[in-house]
């Protein structure tokens, strides 16, 4: 979506973050993303200069993407999930290029972003020698904090429901 809006290829956009759950609360964050425009790397937020689109249509479209794929194809979105798995395997095998990171659902223990421990939560990570590490120290604005907390709350509730179910089985 960012690439289309800026008239570049998807390969020209990097470091977009998906925070949290794989649900309608996931939060696509471009605050740390970069785009190559006319041979020069610039911040996506600065390049777009469209706060209302970035906080509105962009977020909601990404959050509803799975449902939109199912509706459009009248089939499962399994191929989309399969593509994501292949991308993760590629990233783990080859690592992330210097200066780039990917979003990956990993265990939240030890993160510096205030996400509770013991959740499988999507974070920005770098991968080297087949080992992932959190990208540390990214500034989080108030809008992002609210979205990140909302998706963490949902994951916490899902985890609690799963444990309740398992303990009663």
DSSP 120-164: EEEEEEEEETTEEEEPP-----HHHHHHHHHHHHHHHHHHHHHHH
Q: Which of 22, 36, 88, 159 is catalytic?
A: 22
* Residue 22: active-site member: yes
Nearest CA-CA partner of 55 in 34, 32, 27:
27
The partner residues of 103 in beta bridges, in order of sequence, read: 124
Q: Residue 47 contacts by C-beta under 8 Å, 6 or more apart in sequence?
A: 6, 35, 37
> Which residues are the active-site residues?
22
């Amino acid at each position: 979506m960012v690439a289309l809006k800026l008239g570049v290829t998807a390969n020209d956009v990097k470091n977009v973050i998906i925070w949290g759950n794989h649900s309608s609360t996931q939060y696509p964050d471009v605050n740390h993303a970069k785009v190559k425009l006319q041979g020069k790397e610039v911040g996506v937020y600065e390049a777009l200069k469209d706060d209302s689109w970035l906080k509105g249509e962009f977020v909601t479209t990404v959050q509803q993407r799975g449902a939109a794929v199912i509706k459009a194809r009248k089939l499962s979105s399994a191929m989309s999930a399969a593509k994501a798995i292949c991308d993760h395997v590629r990233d783990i095998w080859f690592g992330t290029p210097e200066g780039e990171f990917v979003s990956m659902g990993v265990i939240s223990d030890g993160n510096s972003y205030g996400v509770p421990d013991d959740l499988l939560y999507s974070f920005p990570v770098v991968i080297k020698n087949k080992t992932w590490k959190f990208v540390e120290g990214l500034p989080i604005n108030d809008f992002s904090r609210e979205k990140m907390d909302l998706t963490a709350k949902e994951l916490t509730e899902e985890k609690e429901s799963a444990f309740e179910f398992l303990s009663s089985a």
